[in-house]
């Protein structure tokens, strides 16, 4: 399975930045939709060169453990 990573940075003013790595094509958009449910609406999106590569199927699994 391919490694996908994300980094979340919260500034002192509360602004949240999410950086995704390991996604190709528009597969990152599915991950962005997941993070929007968690942290709120996206204000700005900057694509990397991987965004323009052939699409891959991405499935997000959210599991909560208590």
- Compute the 3-state secondary structure of the chain and give helix, strand, coil in percent, each to the nearest 5: 25, 20, 55
Per residue in 19-44, pLDDT (tens digit) is 888 888 888 888 888 888 888 888 88
pLDDT over 80 at 62, yes or no: no
Please report how many Cα atoms fall inside a 13 Å half-sphere around the Cα of residue 36, on the Cβ side: 11
Structure tokens at 1: 């399975």
User: Domain extents for the chain?
Assistant: 17-52
Mean pLDDT for the chain overall: 80
């Amino acid at each position: 399975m391919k490694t996908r990573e994300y980094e979340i940075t919260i500034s002192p003013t509360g602004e949240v930045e999410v950086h995704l790595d390991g996604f190709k094509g528009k597969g990152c958009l599915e991950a962005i939709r997941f993070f929007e449910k968690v942290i709120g609406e996206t204000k700005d999106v900057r694509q990397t060169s991987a965004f323009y590569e052939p699409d891959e199927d991405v499935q997000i699994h959210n599991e909560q453990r208590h």
